Amino acid sequence: MPATVVNTSPANEASGSVLETRIHFGVLDSWRGVAALLVALFHLNILSSIYSLHFIRNSYLFVDFFFVLSGFVISHSYGHRLGTLEGVGRFVMRRLGRLWPLHAVVLIAFIVVEGGRAISTARGASFVNPPFTGATSFHSILTNLLFGQSLGIEQQLTWNPPSWSICAEFWTYLIFASALLAGATWLRRISFATEYLLGALMAGSACILVLFARHGIDATYDLGFVRCIYGFMVGHLTYRLWQATSGVRFKTGFLEVAVVIAVAIYVSLAGRTGYSFLAPLVFAAVVFVFAFEAGPISGLMLNRGSVWLGRISYSIYMWQAFIIFNFIDRAVAVLEKVTGQTFTTTAPVEVATGIDAGKLIAFGGQVVPILATLFFVALVIAVASASYYLIEQPGQRLFGRLAHGLRRQVVDRTNLFGEPVLLAGTLVPPLSPESPGSFVLNQDSRPVEPVELVNS
């Protein structure tokens, strides 16, 4: 088996799961954490030898890695469980629990800070951007709460700028689930109907991006949803390829080294040119190769530190902008007042998106900027670790219980063909293809419930 096989604990029943064997792609999870830190470094506006690297300046592309990996992981975890409305309902509830609680908490944190600015303004302070205007306007709060910030509703990135991709992922989940439901019901008589439908979505979204995106694939508040569909569907098809070849024993040592080098070169050179539209395809190769976990780099990526980064990657991604705006930029502003020196420039530069785009912090030399960058990385990891325990896990447990509350417990009969299935602690024989309809459990039984594969 190319990835770790895990038995879920009976304790998971509290969140709507029962004992089940699953595959955990630990290496891909670790790469997710690395990618989250690279995106954070891309947004960090401290001029240093790290900031100036072309690889870091183009690391916005790793958002497309998230989309591809999400398509791969969701296809593995839920792809065969979305053939009924009940299955889709539980899926949507669980994904909402994965994304929305932390998104809402970070948004509230931004609103609290903006409220502090409003109080300061009332007491005579002045700001270049008045409180609750522009990117932090009142009306955009509702847009953010309803996951609308990547649908072209807003004309700029608002509040927590990186959260546009979370909005895009949620609506892409719904598109994906709807396509699988349609393939299992209305289109079930057409061979490979679901794959044709998802392939068409991938091709169509790629065409829209190429025709209408203004800065390569770097589309966010306007075409971010389309960008996510493209990457997610590439990830789904990558999973289908992996699924078809997972029984083959590959020696991926050379391939692992090759794809890492290729990605480093590609990201460094692609920028926002036309070549950036190839990002999902490039990252698909990375996901495919490392899904086998059969090379030396895979071994290195399974250390405790990398695994932990993968686990807290969502919190890293969601808190990065808040930390930059409130612990880096504001700290430098205070330092400028105290010392009388100027450390920031508003010259046009590609730095943090959103409210403070265009502000670059230049301390001079290399030692102080590098130390400040390392401080930022350490702070982000510390905040993300606390966020994982205090926000992410409780939120997932809550929505897991809500998902389990969808009491019409139906197991699609296609999941029961070919091998015995564990139901309510009892191993039951598979159904035959002639069995009519779905297998409906009585009120005293529990279906095998999907378990989170990785932190997607």
Reported as a single tens digit per residue, the pLDDT across 55-82 is 999 999 999 999 999 999 999 999 888 9
What is the mean pLDDT of the segment spanning 422-440?
A: 39
Confidence of residue 416 (pLDDT cuts 50, 70, 90): very low
The rounded distance, in Å, linking the Cα atoms of 133 and 146 is 19
CA distances from 190 to 185, 241, 243, 392, 417 (A): 10, 21, 21, 40, 20
pLDDT at residue 86 tops 70: yes
Q: Tokens standing for 43?
A: 């947004």
Asked if residue 185 is part of any domain, the answer here is yes
Tell me phi and psi for residue 361, to 5 degrees: -95, 120
Q: Which of 44, 16, 39, 22 is nearest to 356 (CA)?
A: 44
What percent of the chain has pLDDT above 90? Answer: 64
- The overall pTM is greater than 0.75: yes
Q: Residue 167 domain-assigned?
A: yes
Does residue 454 fall inside a structural domain?
no
Q: For the chain, what is the domain count?
A: 1
Residue 451: inside a domain: no
Q: How far apart are CA 50 and CA 366, in angstroms?
A: 10
The enclosing H or E element of 440 equals strand 439-440
The answer to the question of residue 23 being in a domain is yes
Whether 453 is covered by a domain: the verdict is no
Percent of the chain residues past pLDDT 70, beyond the cut: 81
Q: Cα(20)–Cα(337) distance, rounded to whole angstroms?
A: 59
214 domain-assigned: yes
Look up the domain containing 236 and give its range: 4-400+421-440
In a domain, 389, yes or no: yes
